[in-house]
Amino acid sequence: MGIRLGDTAPDFTATTTEGDLTFHDWLDNQWAVLFSHPKDFTPVCTTELGRVAQLKDEFDSRGVKVIGLSVDPVESHHSWIKDIEETQNTTINYPLIADSDGKIAALYDMLDPTSEDTMTARNVFVIGPDKKVKLTIVYPASTGRNFDEILRIIDSLQLTADYQVATPVDWNHGEDCIIVPSIPDEDIPAKFPKGHQRIKSYLRTTPQPNL
């Protein structure tokens, strides 16, 4: 059975490009993104790893750690990083897990059933400070991930965690949010002093609370 929303992210020990780590210790009660790659020296993933490095300040500003994973050994990772930095004009500034025996990929159900090799699928896991899985996405090998969208999702998840709001379709940072249905009408003025709009009994909006 795969990892489901709300599950505790499985713990593991691993060798990475920044040394050995135990995953739960590395998380250190912070938000995190774990994303996997089929193998080293793949073209789409080369662009993705570079993009995450370019966005590292954005992740840092949200208190989010990032870590990648591939089934190749750490020596191969270091060689691949040289290519990534050259072709994507950036510096890799986060760890890349060497899952040579595929144990972590199996633990997170990331093995690609369509692959003739032991390649991992291209998964994304967003993990909260409580070590619970908040988001899972699986991308096909041919489609590059949109990390701006992943940042948008993290903004939404953090708003829900901190302010009891949800975000509507196509929401972007700075736009109105939806007050979750569990909050009674009489509690809204105290919780949302910026005001609110009652569109329906179940659809109430308020300006983004943390701005």
How many domains is the chain built from? 2
Specify whether 136 is located in the same domain as 187. Answer: no
Residues 82 and 52 in one domain: yes
Same domain assignment for residues 28 and 127: yes
The per-residue pLDDT for range 101-139, each reduced to its tens digit, is 889 988 998 876 665 555 677 899 999 999 999 999 999
User: Are the beta carbons of 53 and 91 closer than 8 angstroms?
Assistant: yes
Does residue 132 belong to any structural domain of this protein? yes
> Catalytic one among 45, 81, 92, 121?
45
Same domain, 110 and 178: no
3-state secondary structure 161-182: HHHCEECCCCCCCCCCEEECCC
Q: Same domain, yes or no, for 54 and 125?
A: yes
Half-sphere exposure of 128 (CA within 13 A, CB side): 18
The pLDDT tens digits of the residues spanning 179-204 come to 999 999 999 999 999 999 999 999 99
In a domain, 97, yes or no: yes
Say if residues 99 and 14 touch (Cβ distance below 8 Å).
yes
Q: Average pLDDT in the 39-62 region? A: 96
* Residues 49 and 134 placed together within one structural domain of the fold: yes
Residue 41 in any domain: the answer is: yes
pLDDT of 84 higher than 90: yes
Q: Based on the fold, state whether residues 28 and 82 are members of the same structural domain.
A: yes
Residue 122 and residue 50 share a domain: yes
Residue 53 lies in a domain: yes
Radius of gyration of the chain (CA): 19
Residue 202 lies in a domain: yes
Residue 150 lies in a domain: no
Task: With beta carbons less than 8 A apart as the criterion, state whether 2 and 128 touch.
Answer: no
| Assigned domain for 103 exists | yes
How many helices and strands, by DSSP H and E, does the chain display? 7, 11
pLDDT surpassing 60 at residue 1: no
Structural domain span for residue 196: 164-206
- Using the Cα atoms of residue 25, residue 54, residue 135 and residue 138 in order, give the sign of their dihedral: negative
The per-residue b/e assignment along 118-132, b for 16 or more CB within 10 angstroms, e otherwise, is bbbbbbbbbbbeebe
> In this structure, are 100 and 190 located in the same domain?
no
Q: Does pLDDT of 79 surpass 90?
A: yes
State yes or no: is 45 an active-site residue. Answer: yes
Give residue 90's Cα distance to chain centre. 20
